[in-house]
Amino acid sequence: MSKPSYETLALRLREAYAAQPIAPMRDGLEPTDVAGAYAVQTINTRFWEAQGRRIVGRKAGLTAKAVQTQLGVDQPDFGVLFDDMRVADGGMLDPARCLQPKAEAEIAFVLGADLPSSETTVEEVAAAVATVHAAIEIVDSRIADWKITFADTVADNGSSAFFVLAEDGKPLAGLDIWTAGMVMQINGETVSLGVGAAALGHPLNAAAWLARTLAARGEPLKAGDVLLAGALGPMVPMSPGEKVEAFVGGLGSCSFTYSKG
């Protein structure tokens, strides 16, 4: 049997969004095939851009040891954020738009300056940050039962789906986002706990890794981009009708309801 092309694998993933999850892509991607996985991700990114979707930032994934343990991996990844993935703070997310979603609380940055260098430092990222926000990422997988390898999740746009940012961002100066505590609740019950240091040791480390990685790929981060710096604690499955709220020390909170309304 011939090995499927990257284009074939990309099409499988796109079709899964409107249907049902697919089997892991072992026939076309070895579990650690980083280059192949990002090639598949890029094919779909270009396809969606051609369909009119607009890139508004990037997400760093698998930056928390707790999440790496859950998924059996040991390195970060990234995915693309499109404008239609944003859910308003306090808004609704229709369950019909998801397959097998989970929520995770994060810290997000909005850039006020470009980051063009493949040697970007943490200090340069900090200087470029316009605002910092409490955030929730709604991750989802087009791979059945979340039985993913690193290559599966990378090809699947970092298992991304939607994101929520606290409406009011804070300036970075004076914030302690390293020791900032995180509490995520569903219907008022605490379901996940974490801290800023869970994101590659510091959320700015995750942002700097993103900046360097993307600049090296010729896709540097730009002013106005949203950066999700990675989960601060374990991701949690959701059920229709539930309200999800994330609280991050010094940044306030954001929320959404997993309901059609």
Residue 26 covered by a domain: yes
- Report the C-alpha gap between 151 and 45 in whole angstroms: 16
Is residue 52 predicted with pLDDT exceeding 90?
yes
> What pLDDT score was predicted for residue 66?
66
Exposed/middle/buried for residue 126 (C-beta within 10 Å: 0-12, 13-18, 19+): middle
Residue 1 covered by a domain: no
Stronger pLDDT, 68 or 219, i.e. the higher one: 219
Minimal CA–CA distance to 10: which of 158, 155, 148? 155
Per-residue pLDDT averaged across 128-151, rounded?
96
| CATH code at position 200 | 3.90.850.10
Residue 173 covered by a domain: yes
Per-residue pLDDT averaged across 180-188, rounded?
98
**CA distance readout (Å), 155 to 35, 169, 199:** 10, 31, 22
For residue 32, what pLDDT band results from cuts at 50, 70 and 90? confident
For residue 261, what pLDDT band results from cuts at 50, 70 and 90? confident
> What pLDDT score was predicted for residue 64?
73
- Report the C-alpha gap between 101 and 206 in whole angstroms: 23
Is residue 78 predicted with pLDDT exceeding 90?
yes
Q: What is the mean pLDDT of the chain?
A: 95
Both tokens of residue 64? 């928390």
For residue 62, what pLDDT band results from cuts at 50, 70 and 90? confident
Is residue 59 predicted with pLDDT exceeding 70?
yes
For helices 34-50 and 6-17, angle between their N-to-C axes, nearest 10 degrees: 60
The three-point CA angle 78-201-187 to 5° equals: 75
DSSP bridge partners of 59: 79, 228
Is residue 70 predicted with pLDDT exceeding 70?
no
For residue range 87-116, list pLDDT tens digits in order.
999 999 999 999 999 999 999 999 999 999
Give the predicted TM-score (pTM) of the model.
0.95
- Report the C-alpha gap between 230 and 146 in whole angstroms: 18
- How many separate domains does the chain show? 1
Query: Which residue type does 25 have?
Result: M
For residue range 114-124, list pLDDT tens digits in order.
999 999 999 99
For residue 245, what pLDDT band results from cuts at 50, 70 and 90? very high
> What pLDDT score was predicted for residue 74?
74
Is residue 51 predicted with pLDDT exceeding 90?
yes
Residue numbers of the domain that contains 240: 6-257
Residue 36 covered by a domain: yes
Residue 208 covered by a domain: yes
> What pLDDT score was predicted for residue 68?
67
Per-residue pLDDT averaged across 210-236, rounded?
96
